[in-house]
């Protein structure tokens, strides 16, 4: 459950032949256009400046490639005459050290309920702190905007969850997730 004032985490996917991670890095910004799924629109509406999003190449490559931050909250998509369709502005924060493929996610029991697996057609989905941290761990990439001293404890907690779920997919990991939330869900400035 998201608490007021806490950073939220998102998955944003886009086909690389439309806009690739390299295109976003070169431009220094990203504004997805033409998203016409009601659930994705509602998720865009929930985004706040400073939230983090993991960028996923859909249709081709099918992997996570980078980390974005929301720089402008939801506003009407200028490619639609209907003001109910929304977009947000993002800036690239970091390229993942190692891309994380959909196959890697599907093969990991701890990520069996990952939103991309459950709802593969939705372009914008919420992530839990664990889901975001797990992708970053698999990508050998530190959690952005978290002090260096907290990076190792984050990695340790993610590894504990991954190991527990690999051993027993029904393992109760709520207390570990709570500890992880405390490390990565810090208040926005």
pLDDT digits (tens, 9 = 90+) for 74-109: 999 999 999 999 999 999 999 999 999 999 999 998
Is 8's pLDDT higher than 70? yes
Integer Cα distance of 180 and 158 in angstroms: 8
pTM of the full structure: 0.89
Residues 115-171 pLDDT 10s: 999 999 899 999 999 999 999 999 999 988 788 888 899 999 999 999 998 889 889
Let me know: does 29 contact 20? Beta carbons within 8 Å.
no
Q: Tell which residue, 62, 188, 52, 72, has the closest CA to residue 132.
A: 52
Tokens 């698999």 locate to: 138
Range 9-184 has CATH code 3.30.450.20: no
Is 187's pLDDT higher than 80? no
Token pair, residue 72, equals: 């402008």
Residues 172-184 pLDDT 10s: 999 999 899 888 8
Max CA distance (Å), the chain: 51
DSSP sequence for 17-56:
TTS-HHHHHHHT-B-------HHHHHHHHH--TT-EEEEE
Integer Cα distance of 130 and 144 in angstroms: 14
Tokens 């985004």 locate to: 47
Is 186's pLDDT higher than 70? no
What pLDDT, on a 0 to 100 scale, did the predictor assign at position 128? 92
Integer Cα distance of 105 and 102 in angstroms: 5
């Amino acid at each position: 459950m998201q608490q007021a004032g806490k950073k939220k985490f998102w998955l944003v996917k886009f086909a690389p032949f439309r806009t690739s991670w390299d295109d976003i890095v070169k431009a220094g910004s990203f504004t997805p256009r033409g998203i016409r799924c009601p659930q994705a629109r509602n998720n865009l509406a929930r985004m706040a400046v400073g939230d983090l999003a993991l960028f996923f190449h859909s249709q081709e490559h099918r992997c996570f490639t980078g980390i974005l931050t929301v720089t402008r909250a939801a506003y009407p998509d200028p490619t639609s005459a209907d003001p109910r369709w929304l977009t947000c502005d993002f800036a690239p924060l970091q390229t993942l050290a190692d891309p994380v493929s959909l196959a890697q996610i599907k093969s990991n029991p701890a990520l069996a309920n990952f939103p991309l697996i459950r709802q593969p057609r939705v372009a914008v989905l919420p992530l839990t702190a664990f889901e975001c941290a797990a992708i970053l761990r698999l990508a050998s990439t530190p959690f952005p905007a978290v002090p260096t001293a907290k990076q190792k404890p984050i990695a340790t907690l993610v590894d504990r969850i991954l190991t527990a779920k690999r051993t027993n997919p029904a393992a109760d990991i709520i207390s570990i997730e709570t500890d992880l939330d405390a490390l990565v869900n810090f208040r926005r400035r």
